[in-house]
Structure 1
Amino acid sequence: MRHRPLRNRTRGNLPSELGRFVGRGVELAGLGRLLESSRLVTVTGVGGVGKSRLVLEAARAAAEGRQERYCDGVWLIELDSVRDPALLELTLAEALGLTDHTTRPPRAVLAGHLAERRLLLVLDGFEQLVEETAALVRELLRRSPGLRVLAAGRRPLDLDGEQALPLAPPAPEEALALLVQRLRAADPAFEVTGANRAVLVELCARLDGIPLALELAAARLRILSPEQVLARLEDRFALLTGGVRGAPPRHRALRTAIGWSHELCTPAERLLWARLSVFAGQFDLDAAEYVCAGPDLPVEGVLDLVAELLAQSLLVREETPAGVRYRMLETVRAYGAGWLESLGDAGRLRRRHRDWYVGLATWCELDWFSPRQAEVAALVEVELPNLRLALECCLAEPEDAHLGQYLAGTLWFYWAGCGRLTEGRHWLDRSLEPAAGPAETGYETSRLKALWVLGYVAALQGDSVPSMSALYECRDAAARTGDPVAAAYAVHRLGCLALVSDDMARAGELLGSALEGYRRAGELNSNVLMCQVELAMSLAFRGDLAGAARLCGEVREICEERGERWTKAYALYVLAYAALDAGAPAEARRLLAECVAINHAFHDLVGLVLALELLALVTVSEGDPAEAAVLQGAAEPMWEGVGLRLFGSGYFNAPRLMCRERAGELLGFDRYAECEEQGRGLTREALVVRALRGPAERGSGVPSPRPGGRGGLRGPRTARRAAADQP
């Protein structure tokens, strides 16, 4: 498919500037010139020297000054918490706002997306994946002539055509200005005077002007005078200089700065610093208390110690959609990790970290079937770096493979419900790579769960062969070990495969059998309700609209009682399908509006695109074929991210085909194609806003006759024609 420029789309994701950028005028101008002449520029230097801040400032200047060159935006990709090379492309795709649920390699998805776009990628913190990042950047630059890359790292990528800009510490006057700015942020009344100026200048010189070191010094200057800080620094320098033999002076200076801050911490603060280094990205207080507390660090004291580390700028407090979180700067975290290794406690802390996040995932799975569903989605999104780290820890040792299977399977609601099919498939495949583990029941249960979740995810990707293989293995093993719940899940997802393969009779048989298995086992959750919705779909496609509406009415009631929204959206889809078939487009629109809003909130691309296709047909029946064609055009490329178009199903494809035929007849081929093209240029956010507008807001004309007549949505003839229409 030809990729088009991002018209009317978000022009990047650069964060808002929180503070005034101090100095670096010469470097900023030089960086701007390099970006004019080279497609790959890397700012290099020691950790803490200000690389990230400089490239962000240069990126902002590029976004404002060369809008024609970067007409598709300037995009920041932060890689410092990514450890698994397999997640590199996924992280880039996520930052660019791409959603792709297919089995295509993420690198191919990225290359295809960028092929004809003109944008600037800003890569920050790639050191731990330098070889993989270099290979990816090389391929993207070769295949995307309009792409430029600005990177920040401790070393260059060593690619042909790369321009490196080594970043030295700022000049003395700039270092002083930065220190004073930080001091005034804490105390607006602070002034440089004749009495303190010489000491401040000396302090900057002794710290080599490194911005991170100045940040740490500014934190100490909140409680000590400049003379006291300088005196303490003098006392510690002999002990803390040096570092690795042969390391550049700036490396030793940074180690001096961080080591000096470490020396000024109390023993308890140092211990917490070391233990907090096991976290990836952000963490909350509850996690810190569980993972880090022990006989030598009482849990009731962790809060005060966190406050002290915050006061010393060794932790950063951040507001997130899931509440307050804390984060260590990477250089500070790495220093703490070195101390943790030297204490011989790293392995135990990693296991504590793993156990906390396995428990978190377990509670989130339970809370998914509750009014907290949206909060759970936000929480897992924020905690994803730590969940990835926990998965890595589980899969690092063969004897813990069952924990990896359990964790990857337990996150099914996130993989399937929040648009993370590709990543979920990655972890599920990895967790199931080892041969069957020990024969204990708990271990087998974890494997069965990973198998049915893999079957589910692969089915949603349109990858039916691996899906069927995993589900049959799960079903047979469940029968052999006497696990009726796993058997019900396997039969349920086999029914889903039959549903999307247009075998409605078998789908009804399997889904009905799964529901009976769930009832016998006392199982009730979002999956069970989804099984009932899918059974309703099979009835609707066979013409039993009354039976389908009855089943989905029950699901809707239970969802509203429990506060469940994700499954409710699919029930609303079926109810809207029945309403449109019964000649009630206004009711169908009302139901679909709620369905679209829910699926968009959860980033569920499968549910969203199904609802949009049906909403386009509703829009034709309201007398607005042009708007229907716009919706069709916007929905069409979304299927490329889901997988096989409409799962290859004639039944699921029927609304799209009928909308195309009806709107095409009313508009004519040229006008229909023009409206479809307009839809392809919409962002997902703009599309959802547009889709939720009713006829009164659009000012559409007199409603046209209901398309297809009674049974027209799901008659066999329409289904066969739709199947034949598949590209």
Structure 2
Amino acid sequence: MTRSEKGSLPAEVTSFVGRRREMAEVKKVLPAVRMLTLTGPGGVGKTRLALRVAMQTRRAFPDGVFLVELAALQDHALLEQTVADAIGLRDQSREVLVDHLRGKQLLLVLDNCEHLGAACRVLAGELLAAAPRLRILATSRQALRTPGEHIRPVLPLPLPDLDVTPGDDSAAGDAIQLFSERAAAVVPDFVVTPANQATVARICQQLDGLPLAIELAAARVQILSPEQILQRLDDRFRLLTAGSPAVLPRHRTLQEVMNWSYALCSPAEQRLWARMSVFVRGCDLDAAEAVCAGDGIPPEDVIDAVAGLVDKSVLVREEDGDSASVRYLMLDTIRHYGREKLRAADEEAALRRRHRDYFLKLTERHAAEWFGPAQEEIAVRSRREFANLRLALKYCLNTPGESQTGLRMAAALHFYWYGCGPLAEGRHWLDRMLTLDVTPSRARAAALWTNSHLAVAQGDRAAAADMAEECFQWARSAGDKNMLAHGLFALGTVEWANGGDLPRTLALMEDCLALFEALGVMTAVTAIAYVTMSATLTQLNDLDRAMAVSQQAGALCDQHGDRWARTYVLYIRSLTEWMRGDVARARACAEEALRDQQIFKDALGTVFVIESLAWYAGSSGEHERAAVLLGAAHRLYPMEGSKPLADLPRYYLVHDECERQTRHALGDRGFQTAFDRGVSFESAQAVAYALGEDADGTTSAPAAADDPLAQLTRRERQVAELIAEGLSNKDIAARLVISTRTAEGHVQNVLTKLGFTNRVQLAASFGEYRQVRNL
């Protein structure tokens, strides 16, 4: 998925065949209606059509085109958050989502709505009523019945004419073209010839023109001839020819396609198909082996069964751009078919539990390894597996006797909830788990301090205080020193956020750290406790001790290979340096922290640092820059579900002073203009601006008129130089601290603008560019 401030649409990995008439009709209707829903059976191509329309009409929506994938979302309570996340708002309420869209001219593509029909209907109605320039393009197996909704059924591909003269390409049709292209993907020399055209036409006709069914059939060309495929279809789809194809139940049509594909699998492949249906948005080989092996599938045979399902197009192989691993995905229809087979074998309950057990162990291992050199990999994998983590949490919530395990898992994800952005989702799960299981226990205590820490970050300090106190009291009564240290940490964090008795805050953190040291516990929480202690000392104006404590925290992070907690160490160190009067060092520390925070997508930390950079700019006389950064922080804070910095007492009184001085220097009008510019930034733009880069991504660096690179943006010029050095997309992403997919987009833009078709051409010609640019 590629997401920018202008939208998020996935790149097409296979060719788009046909649908010219449907494309024209949908593109004609879309500007004239508020909501258009593409309806039809699973596998008919609703999503592909919607995405192609969205891509081709994106210029009509200056505020972007955003895809909201709902197939994996099972909890309707998270619908608003899923939409908000897709458009760049994090952890927000419905009211903030509505307010954000109110003046926007953008297109939302809500994909696979049928299982969330009522929730989608209500949310779409509210968004459309509040945002007059918003358009919604939805896909669903049934109409949503939203007021103002227009329905456009998506039909199967037109059936080929069996009476055409063999070899007449003009009469072959889209269905045959689709079969031909997909067959050639597995057998490169496959072509539709006069000898096999009639057979292929009959295959497409018996499959009712359903694209998914045709693609599955074409994949079998790897082992069967078209004539053999046709013979098997005749055997397997006898019911489909008994009545009129025009009135066949769509589920039965698709069911028979799945039955045929299932029958071609070996017994091990059939079992694996059913068992892998417990995963959401796919899994890697390790997960498949851990969850699906046994009871008829020896662990060593899983890899061969996976290979067989990939060959049969039951699984889709996907390389993750942000890691070196390969994942295996199931189309939603295929997954549902496998789930029915799992239920029929009476294995669903066991597999659901094994799925939960696997992701519980994965989460607890990640929690234990988070404070170390594997942080970035853990963040990437946790984000990639988030749909499966949700499913495992839901299992704990809905299965009798599993509430304690749910508390363990939700608490173990503290590193992800706090370190990687989804604060409100963490609160969502922890609140529900704590409400479900009120029995005092160690698992509950862990969930309490975790939820307290998240609540502090969101500004919900009253709830945070109650939870911290309950955790502390349980740990003290139970004599659990580890939990007692965490309870002290939570109490100290709440006290600091409340702007209360600073000496008490300091004492709580000192006691917490003394316990951690006595127990030999060195985790990210330990480092953050040091950070909070340093922040308290800074507030007390004990700057030398504050710097010493932050250096101690930094040494701890470096010793363990941590980069995430270190960003907070750098942030506090920058504030201390600023209060000492060294603005240059303060800015350098803050910018280093900001760059590393993007690795983890730590939105809360990002906003803290951007705000601090506004203060530094203001104290240096860069008043316009200060106002822009204040606006950017103001915009980003609500996106994280937290209160503005100025709402936190004492420590952030400097915010008001910065705004007052900046407004005085620029005048009310000048200040508001600069502030509004910052408010207009999306998160990536705000970070770029804070780091001194081009916020809009369009301004080229100064260049001579005859400079061949003058047409590139500054970022693209950097990418061009790194390509010439021989760096891969992944290496470029690491060097520039951007995602691999963003790097891929920059590379393609560079090649296109310079007229090259591959990287080798650019590298070979770059010597001339260096001479032109005097490099």
Q: Equivalent residue for 1:225?
A: 225
Out of 532, 537, 553, the residue aligned to residue 555 of structure 1 is 553
1:292-441 map, 5 Å: 292-320=292-320, 321-322=322-323, 323-437=325-439
When residues 241 and 326 of structure 1 are mapped into structure 2, their CA distance, relative to the original with a 3 A threshold, is farther
SS in 2 for 1:656: helix
- How many percent of aligned residue pairs carry the same amino acid? 39
Task: Report Cα offsets for 1:177-197 as digits up to 9, x if no partner.
Answer: 111111222334322211111
Residue 661 (structure 1) shift: 3.3
Q: Equivalent residue for 2:204?
A: 204
1:98 equivalent to 2:96? Answer: no
Residue 36 (structure 1) shift: 2.6
Distance 2:295 2:121 in 1: 45
1:454 equivalent to 2:454? Answer: no
Distance 2:238 2:192 in 1: 29
Task: Report Cα offsets for 1:554-591 as digits up to 9, x if no partner.
Answer: 11111112111121111112211121122211111111
Q: Equivalent residue for 2:494?
A: 497
Write the letter of the residue equivalent to 1:234: D
1:71 equivalent to 2:62? Answer: yes
Distance 1:571 1:250 in 2: 59
Task: Report Cα offsets for 1:145-174 as digits up to 9, x if no partner.
Answer: 111111111101012221111121111221
Residue 415 (structure 1) shift: 0.6
Residue 465 (structure 1) shift: 1.6
Distance 1:242 1:95 in 2: 45
Q: Equivalent residue for 2:14?
A: 19
Residue 247 (structure 1) shift: 8.7
The answer to whether the 8 A contact 2:81-2:90 is kept is no
Q: Equivalent residue for 2:715?
A: none
Q: Equivalent residue for 2:714?
A: none
Distance 1:298 1:94 in 2: 40
Distance 2:421 2:41 in 1: 37
Distance 1:235 1:156 in 2: 35
The answer to whether the 8 A contact 1:500-1:648 is kept is no
1:507 equivalent to 2:494? Answer: no
The answer to whether the 8 A contact 2:646-2:655 is kept is no
SS in 2 for 1:281: coil
Distance 1:287 1:146 in 2: 44
Distance 1:447 1:283 in 2: 30
Q: Equivalent residue for 2:38?
A: 43
When residues 506 and 241 of structure 1 are mapped into structure 2, their CA distance, relative to the original with a 3 A threshold, is farther
Distance 2:295 2:685 in 1: 54
The answer to whether the 8 A contact 1:44-1:153 is kept is yes
Distance 2:670 2:646 in 1: 28
Distance 1:403 1:670 in 2: 56
RMSD (Å), alpha carbons: 2.2
Out of 107, 123, 128, the residue aligned to residue 110 of structure 2 is 123
1:80 equivalent to 2:78? Answer: no
1:480 equivalent to 2:477? Answer: yes
Distance 1:76 1:366 in 2: 35
1:234-273 map, 5 Å: 234-238=234-238, 248-273=248-273
When residues 599 and 242 of structure 1 are mapped into structure 2, their CA distance, relative to the original with a 3 A threshold, is farther
The answer to whether the 8 A contact 1:240-1:259 is kept is no
Write the letter of the residue equivalent to 2:610: L
Q: Equivalent residue for 1:722?
A: none
Out of 610, 624, 630, the residue aligned to residue 626 of structure 1 is 624
Higher relative contact order (CA 8 A, sep 6+): 1
When residues 647 and 360 of structure 1 are mapped into structure 2, their CA distance, relative to the original with a 3 A threshold, is farther
The answer to whether the 8 A contact 1:275-1:292 is kept is yes
Distance 2:242 2:600 in 1: 51
1:509-588 map, 5 Å: 509-588=507-586
Write the letter of the residue equivalent to 1:115: R
1:156 equivalent to 2:143? Answer: yes
Task: Report Cα offsets for 1:626-663 as digits up to 9, x if no partner.
Answer: 21221112112223234222273343323323322333
Q: Equivalent residue for 1:659?
A: 658
Distance 1:341 1:429 in 2: 31
Distance 1:235 1:429 in 2: 54
Residue 397 (structure 1) shift: 2.2
The answer to whether the 8 A contact 2:88-2:682 is kept is no
The answer to whether the 8 A contact 2:627-2:659 is kept is yes
Moved more, 31-40 or 281-290: 31-40
Moved more, 686-695 or 669-678: 686-695
The answer to whether the 8 A contact 2:186-2:221 is kept is no
Distance 1:161 1:295 in 2: 52
Write the letter of the residue equivalent to 2:117: V
The answer to whether the 8 A contact 2:291-2:354 is kept is yes
Task: Report Cα offsets for 1:653-684 as digits up to 9, x if no partner.
Answer: 23323322333343333322222122222222
1:649 equivalent to 2:640? Answer: no
Residue 215 (structure 1) shift: 0.8
Q: Equivalent residue for 1:32?
A: 27
Task: Report Cα offsets for 1:465-504 as digits up to 9, x if no partner.
Answer: 2111111111111122221211211121111111112121
Write the letter of the residue equivalent to 2:343: E
Distance 1:533 1:280 in 2: 38
Residue 201 (structure 1) shift: 0.6
The answer to whether the 8 A contact 1:370-1:564 is kept is yes
Write the letter of the residue equivalent to 1:572: L
Q: Equivalent residue for 2:185?
A: 185
Q: Which runs of 5+ in 1 are unaligned?
A: 1-7, 700-727
Distance 2:181 2:580 in 1: 68
The answer to whether the 8 A contact 1:241-1:255 is kept is no
Distance 1:230 1:650 in 2: 74
Write the letter of the residue equivalent to 2:670: R
When residues 9 and 239 of structure 1 are mapped into structure 2, their CA distance, relative to the original with a 3 A threshold, is closer
The answer to whether the 8 A contact 1:468-1:494 is kept is yes
Moved more, 398-407 or 29-38: 29-38
The answer to whether the 8 A contact 1:462-1:647 is kept is no
Moved more, 144-153 or 328-337: 144-153
Write the letter of the residue equivalent to 2:37: T
Distance 2:289 2:594 in 1: 40
Distance 2:624 2:299 in 1: 63
The answer to whether the 8 A contact 2:396-2:405 is kept is yes
Q: Equivalent residue for 1:590?
A: 588
Q: TM-score, normalised by structure 1?
A: 0.90
Residue 280 (structure 1) shift: 0.8
Moved more, 464-473 or 205-214: 464-473
SS in 1 for 2:283: coil
SS in 2 for 1:413: helix
The answer to whether the 8 A contact 1:613-1:635 is kept is yes
Q: Where do 4+ consecutive residues of structure 1 move more than 4 Å? A: 239-243
Write the letter of the residue equivalent to 1:401: S
Q: Equivalent residue for 1:135?
A: 122
Q: Equivalent residue for 1:709?
A: none
The answer to whether the 8 A contact 1:241-1:253 is kept is no
The answer to whether the 8 A contact 1:500-1:647 is kept is no
Residue 339 (structure 1) shift: 0.5
Q: Equivalent residue for 1:110?
A: 97
Out of 52, 55, 59, the residue aligned to residue 47 of structure 2 is 52
Distance 2:247 2:203 in 1: 23
Distance 2:614 2:603 in 1: 16
Distance 1:467 1:497 in 2: 7
